[in-house]
Chain A
Amino acid sequence: MTPAYATFGEVEAERRVASAPLSHVSIELGHLYMEDFQAGPERLREQFRHVAPWAETMRASWRARVPGGRARVSTCFLIDDYFSRFSTPSELVPMVLEAAAECDLTIDYLARESACAEADGVKLARLVEDRLVTDPPPGTDGSRPPVTETGWLCNGARSPYGGAVQVAMGSAQGWEPPAQNAKRRHSIFVDVELWDSDSRGRTWSCPFLAAVWQLLRLGMIRNDGELPVRPTPRGPSFPASWDELPAVVQLNPAAAPFSAYTTMSVLSPRFLPVELAVRTILSQVFVDAAVLRQVADRSGGEGIPLPDELVDRISYIFLGA
C-alpha cells in the first residue's frame, strides 16, 4: 500500500518521539573549570571527599523509596572545554578518575561542556533557545510580540529605560522599578544574559549551558524526535584533543542510564547565582509534551510520581569548604 492513500490519521502518525532510558536520579559529582585544574589534584581530591557522603545519602534515600531497593542511580562529571581550554583528555581524565577512586566514588559518565552548545552536529543550545516561552508580565494580552531584549531573559518586567519610543512634546516618564511576575509583595527580579556575540560568533553564557545540561540529564531534549546525545562507551585510552572526546563518555560499563527522573548536583556556594539563573531559564523552557508524557507514564508505572514542573525535579547541595 502506498502512503499516498493514507487516511486522515497520517498527520499524527508521522510524529514519533524516541524515549530515553532513565535512572531515578542523576548525581553530578562536580564541575571542573580551569581555575580548579590550576589549583592542582589536591583540590579535586578535597572536593570529592566532601561530595562522597552526600552522594551516598542520595543513593540510600532512593533505595528506600524504590520497591525492592533497586534504585537506578548514575553519577556524572562535567569538564569545561567551552570557555577555556586546558590540558588534554588523555592527561586530565585519568587524573580525575584517580582522585574520585581515592574517595570511593565512581564516575559513570563524563561530559564536555561544549557538548551543551553543540553535540554531534546538533545545536542543542539553539534547540533550547527556540523553546523559551517568556514569562509574561501582567498586562500581556498577546496583542504585541513578547517583550524581549535580544540575548537576555528575565522573570518579570524590566524598568522602562530612556530609549523607549517618545514623541515630540509628549509627557516624560520617570524611573520605575523592575518587578518579578510571581512576586509575593516584594520582587526578586532576575535578568539573565543568555549569550553574547562578537566577530567570531555567538558565545552562550555559563547559566544557559548549565540549563541545557540539566535538560540533557533529565532526558528532555529531542531533535526531530530523536535523542540528540547518546553516551559513548570509553575506549582503551582518552584522546589528545577535546574535540575528539565524545560529548558524553560512559566510563562505567555497568552504570545505570545517564538521564534520570531527577537530578542532584553537589556544588560550591559560588555557583548559587548561576543556579538561580539556571532555574530562571528552566522555568521558561517549554518541553515537548510527548516527552513529558513518556516520562510521566514511565515513572507512574514504577509508582514514582514526579512533580509536574521541571524545576521541581532538580535539587542541589551547596557545600562550603
Chain B
Amino acid sequence: MLVFAISDKGGTGRSVTSSNIVYRRALQGSDVCYLDFDFGSPTAGAIFSVSSAARGTIQGGMHGYFEGRIADPHRIDIWAETDREGLRAKPPGAGQMVLFPGDEGGGEFSTVSEEMLRRCVRLFTRLEEEFDLCLVDLSAGRSFAAQMALAATARLPGVPFRWLVFHRWTRQHIIAAHGLVRGRQGLLAAGVEHGHDEETLADHIRFVRTAVLEPDAAELEGLRETQKAWLNECDRELRELARRYGVGRTSMLGKIPLDPVLQWREQLISDEDVLSSQIANAETVAAFDDLAKKIVDDSAWEAL
C-alpha cells in the first residue's frame, strides 16, 4: 500500500510523525519503506539517525532516479545503518525498514515530465511488490511531488493508496489543511484532473493532528482556573471550526500529543525512550502505534 504524507504548512511534524509510523509498523511485523519525496529539502535520513544520508545521499537517490541518471534509487536498510545503538538490531519478527533518501544537493523539480511519471509508476509498482507499506513523504504545500503522486496513482488502478494530511491544532492550520484538500488546485481538484474520481479520492484522505496539547494534559496541571477555562474555550472553538471545514473527528485518523522529546529533536521514539530512559511519553508511542495500525485497518477508512 502507498501512503502519501502531505501538509499545507511546513514544520507541522509530517516527517517526524511519518517516520515513527513507519517504524511502529515495522515493529508490528510489516515490511515498510520510507520515500523522501521532499525534493527541495531531502533530510529524512536525519530522523532515522542515518548520518550518511542526513542531508540526502551521494550514492544516487530519488533525484538521480527521476532524472534518469540511475536505474535504481539508493536504498538504506535502517536497521543496519542507523547510528542509534538501540535501533541497530532488528527485533525478531519485525519487518524490513528501508529508507529511500533524496540526493544530497538535490532540489525541487521544475516540472513533471512524462518520463518522470513513468519512472514514478515503475518505482511504485516495484516497491508495492516488496513492501506492505510504502510511505511517501511529500513536501509541504502544492508541489510537483504531490502532482506526480496523483498522476502515478491514477495510472495504477490495482495499487491501493491513502493520503494523510498533517496539521497542527490551530486556526490557521485547520483552515490550511482544508484548503489543501478542497481548495482551488487542491488535492481533489488536481486529482480529478489526473483522472481520479473525486469521491473515491476523498474517501482515501484522512487528517492527522500533530503536537496536540489537550486541555486536560498533565503538562497543564499548574494552570490557573481562568487559564484552563480559556484553553477549554479555545479547544471547543477549534473543534467547531474543524468540523465546519471537514477536518473534524470523522475525517481524522489520529492525533499525536505534544511530546517533549520531539519538541527538542526530530527522531524515532523507541520503547526504550519511554521505558528505561523515560524521556518520552508513553502516550506518544501509543498514538504512533495506533496510527500505524489504523493506516492499514480498512474499518478506519470506510466511506464517510
A and B touch in the complex (CB under 8 A): yes
Binding site for B on A (CB under 8 A): 143-145, 163-170
One of A143, A144, A163, A168 near B108 (C-beta < 8 A):
A168
Interface check B230, CB cutoff 8 A: no
A197 to B110 alpha-carbon distance, docked (Å): 29
B109 touches A167 (CB 8 A): yes
A167 in contact with B68 (CB, 8 Å) = no
Q: Do B109 and A166 touch across chains, with their CB atoms under 8 A apart? A: yes
> Does A165 contact B67, Cβ atoms closer than 8 Å?
yes
- B146 CB, nearest partner CB in chain A, Å: 16
Contacts of B71 in A (CB 8 A): 143-144
**B116 engages A165 (CB within 8 Å):** yes
Q: List 8 A-B contacts (CB under 8 A).
A: A165-B67, A165-B68, A166-B110, A166-B111, A167-B106, A167-B107, A169-B107, A170-B107
Task: Pick the most buried of B39, B70, B109: most chain A CB atoms within 10 A of its CB.
Answer: B109
Which residue from chain B places its CB closest to the CB of A165 in the assembled complex?
B67
Say which size band chain B's interface belongs to: 10 to 19
The A contact surface, by secondary structure, is: loop
Question: What chain B residues lie within 8 Å of A145 (beta carbons)?
Answer: 118
Cβ–Cβ contact A168 & B109, under 8 A: yes
8 A Cβ contacts from B160-213 to A: none
Which residue in chain A gives the minimum CB-CB distance to B67? A165
A165 near B107 (CB under 8 angstroms)? Answer: no
User: Complex formed: what's the CA distance from A169 to B108 in Å?
Assistant: 8
Give every chain A residue within 8 A of B48 (Cβ-Cβ): none
Is B14 close to A, CB under 8 A? no
Chain A residue with the shortest CB-CB distance to B69: A144
List chain B residues, Cβ under 8 A from A164.
113
In the complex, the answer to whether A167 meets B113 with C-beta atoms within 8 Å is no
Which residues of A have CB within 8 Å of B107?
167-170
Residues of B within 8 A of A166 (CB): 109-111
Alpha-carbon distance A143/B115, docked complex (angstroms): 15
Given contacts A144-B71, A164-B113, A165-B109, 10 further A-B contacts (CB under 8 A): A143-B70, A144-B68, A163-B113, A165-B68, A167-B67, A167-B108, A167-B109, A168-B107, A168-B108, A170-B107
Min CB gap A299→B, angstroms: 42
Q: Does B79 contact A (CB under 8 A)?
A: no
In chain B, positions 60-83 with a C-beta closer than 8 Å to chain A are 63, 66-68, 70-71
Give the residues in chain A near B67, CB-CB below 8 Å: 165, 167
* A168 with B113: CB separation less than 8 A: no
CB distance from A119 to the nearest CB of B (A): 33
CB distance from B162 to the nearest CB of A (A): 28
* Cα-based distance from A163 to B63 in the complex (angstroms): 16
Cβ-closest 9 pairs across A and B:
A143-B71, A168-B107, A167-B107, A168-B108, A169-B107, A165-B67, A166-B110, A167-B109, A165-B113
Q: Which of B75-117 contact A (CB under 8 A)?
A: 106-111, 113, 115-116
With a cutoff of 8 Å between Cβ atoms, the chain A residues found around residue B68 in the complex are 144, 165
CB atoms of A167 and B111 under 8 A apart: no
Closest CB in chain A relative to B217 CB, distance in Å: 41
Instruction: State the CA gap A169–B110 with chains docked (Å).
Output: 10
B215 contacts chain A at the CB level, 8 A cutoff: no
**Residues of the B chain whose Cβ atoms lie less than 8 Å from the Cβ of A170:** 107
Given contacts A143-B70, A144-B71, contact A167 B39 (CB under 8 A): yes
Contacts of B63 in A (CB 8 A): 167
Closest to B70 in A: A143
Q: How far is the CB of A149 from chain B (nearest CB, A)?
A: 10
Residue in contact with A168 in the complex, picked from B40, B66, B115, B116, CB distance below 8 Å: B40
Please tell me if the beta carbons of A168 and B110 are within 8 angstroms of each other in the complex: yes
User: Chain A's nearest CB lies how many Å from the CB of B119?
Assistant: 9
For B68, the closest partner residue in chain A by CB is A144
A169: which B residues are within 8 A, CB to CB? Answer: 107
Determine the chain A residues whose CB is within 8 A of the CB of B116 once the complex forms. Answer: 165
| Shortest CB distance A232–B (Å) | 44
Please give, as numbers and ranges, the residues of chain B lying within 8 Å of A163 by CB-CB distance.
111, 113
Question: Across the two chains, which residue of chain A brings its CB closest to B116?
Answer: A165
Query: CA A143 – CA B70 in complex, angstroms?
Result: 7
Tell me, rounded to whole Å, the shortest Cβ–Cβ distance linking B42 to chain A. 11
- From the candidates A143, A144, A167, name the one contacting B110 in the complex (CB within 8 A): A167
B118 cross-chain contacts in A, Cβ below 8 A:
145
> Which residues of B sit under 8 angstroms from A168, Cβ to Cβ?
40, 107-110
A137 to chain B, nearest CB (A): 13
CB neighbours (8 Å) of B115 from chain A are: 165
Q: Taking each of A143, A165, A166, A168, which has the highest tally of chain B beta carbons within 10 Å of its own beta carbon? A: A165
Give A158 Cβ to nearest chain B Cβ, in Å: 13
A176 vs B40: C-alpha distance when bound (angstroms): 28
Rounded to whole Å, the gap between the CB of A9 and the closest CB of chain B is 33
Residues of B within 8 A of A143 (CB): 70-71
Give A164 to B109 CA distance when docked, in angstroms: 11
| Chain A residues, CB < 8 A from B113 | 163-165
B27 to chain A, nearest CB (A): 35
Tell me the smallest distance from the CB of A30 to a CB of chain B, in Å.
42
Q: How far is the CA of A144 from the CA of B68 in the complex (A)?
A: 7
Give bound CA distance, A167 to B111, whole Å. 9
A100 to B113, CA, bound (A): 55
Smallest CB–CB gap between B173 and chain A, Å? 26
Residues of A within 8 A of B39 (CB): 167
